[in-house]
């Protein structure tokens, strides 16, 4: 006989993700995204196909393996394959305002598992870049990315304090209030020497690094112009 205890244990053994069905669902019963019929229009898709890894999304076969592999699928508005389908539908606004690519942690599990060899994290990077380029930067992650980038390119290494400051400056006062919730983490990091109080020294060949970056950016622009 199954005792209530055992039952509970069995329930707990079910991975969290199977109990909570957000994002994509794993059993083909679909979340309704649109109440109105949607219409296929490939104009936007063609634009995305032109991104560095954009044309890979053509070969998605809708298997859903990426979704079930994704660590952050529960917070994603659209799991990867649905996002790809939205692109094919021409839902530009929905795609660019979605949190999907911002939620991607670049853990690489999806890329490693995709049977069609789609480098999903690289597609996500392309989409982030595209979104920033077209001003879709409402997400905190977008500000975080920017802060990270400015910090790295000006110092050649990371200074957590500086990055946090930059981030909060862009995000405004509200975020600072929210950030107070995290002060214990910060203090603990300071105590354990995980975060310096003062900015570290810049790296030695910062000039060289800057050159590398600008060369890369130049190549990138050339690529985009093609």
Partner 1 sequence: MEKKIAVYICTGCGIGDALDIDALSKVAKGEFKVPICKTDGQLCGPEGVALIKQDIENDGVDTVVIAGCSARVNYDVFKFGSDKIVERVNLREQVIWCHTADDEDTQMLAEDYMRMGLVKQKNMNVPEPYHVESFSRNIMVLGGGLTGLTAALESAKAGYSTILVEKEAELGGYVGKMYKQVPMKPPFTDLEENCIPNLVKAVEDAGVKIYKSATVENTAGAPGMFDVTIKQDDGTVQERVGAIVLATGAKPYEADKLGHLGFGKFPNVITQSMFEEMAVAGTPEASKVAFIQCAGSRDQEHLPYCSAACCIESIKQALYVKEKNDEANVYVYYKDIRSNGQYEHFYMKAQQEGVVFVKGDVTEITEEDGKLTIEADDKTMGTTSLADEFDYVVLANGMVPTAALGDLMEEESTTDEAAAACDEPKASTPPIIKANLLNLVYRQGPELPALKYGFPDSHYICFPYETRRTGIYAAGVVRAPMDMLSAVEDGAGAAMKAIQCVEVTEKGEAVHPRSGDMSFPEFNMNRCTQCKRCTEECPFGAINEDEKGNPLPNPSRCRRCGTCMGACPERIISFKNYSVPMVGNMVKAIEMPEEDEEKPRILIFACDNDAIPALDMAGINHMQYNSWVRIIPLRCLGSLNLVWINDAMGRGFDGVLLMGCKHGDDYQCHFMKGSELAEIRLSKISETLDRLGLESERVRATTVSIMDYDKIPAMLDEFAADLEELGPNPMKDFQ
| Residue 89 lies near partner 1 (rule: CB under 8 A) | yes
CA gap 39, 150 in Å, rounded: 40
Residue 12 interacts, among partner 1, ligand SF4, none and using kind-specific CB cut-offs from 5 to 8 Å, with: none
Choosing among partner 1, ligand SF4, none, which partner's interface includes residue 129 (Cβ < 5 to 8 Å by kind)? none
- Sign of the torsion angle spanned by Cα atoms 76, 161, 134, 128: negative
Between 14 and 33, how does the x/- string for binding to partner 1 read (CB under 8 A)?
A: --------------x-xxxx
Q: Which is nearer to ligand SF4, 76 or 163 (CB)?
A: 76
**What span, in angstroms and rounded, lies between the C-alpha atoms of 139 and 150?**
17
Identify the DSSP state of 27: S
40 binds partner 1 (CB under 8 A): yes
Query: HEC states along 116-176?
Result: CCCCHHHHHHHHHHHHHHCCCCCCHHHHHHHHHHHHHHHHCCCCHHHHHHHHHHHHCHHHH
Give the footprint of partner 1 on residues 109-148 (CB under 8 A): 116
Residue placing its CB nearer to ligand SF4 in the complex, 48 or 60: 60
* Candidate ranges 7-15, 78-86, 128-136, 162-170; the one touching partner 1 (CB under 8 A): 78-86
Q: Which is nearer to ligand SF4, 60 or 89 (CB)?
A: 60
């Amino acid at each position: 006989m199954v005792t209530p205890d055992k039952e509970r244990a069995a329930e707990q053994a079910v991975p969290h993700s199977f109990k909570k069905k957000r994002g994509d669902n794993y059993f083909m019963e679909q979340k309704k995204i649109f109440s109105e019929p949607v219409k296929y229009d490939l104009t936007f898709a063609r634009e995305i196909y032109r991104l560095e890894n954009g044309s890979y999304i053509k070969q998605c076969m809708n298997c859903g393996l990426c979704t079930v592999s994704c660590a952050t699928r529960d917070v994603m508005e659209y799991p990867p394959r649905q996002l790809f389908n939205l692109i094919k539908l021409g839902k530009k606004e929905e795609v660019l305002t979605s949190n999907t690519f911002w939620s991607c942690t670049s853990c690489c599990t999806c890329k490693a598992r995709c049977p069609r060899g789609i480098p999903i994290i690289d597609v996500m990077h392309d989409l982030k870049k595209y979104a920033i380029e077209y001003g879709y930067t409402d997400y905190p992650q977008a500000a975080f990315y920017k802060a990270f980038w400015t910090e790295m390119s000006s110092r050649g290494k990371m200074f957590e304090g500086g990055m946090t400051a930059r981030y909060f400056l862009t995000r405004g006062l509200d975020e600072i209030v929210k950030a107070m919730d995290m002060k214990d983490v910060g203090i603990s990091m300071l105590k354990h020497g995980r975060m310096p109080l003062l900015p570290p020294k810049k790296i030695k060949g910062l000039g060289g690094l800057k050159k590398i970056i600008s060369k890369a950016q130049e190549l990138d622009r050339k690529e985009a112009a093609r």
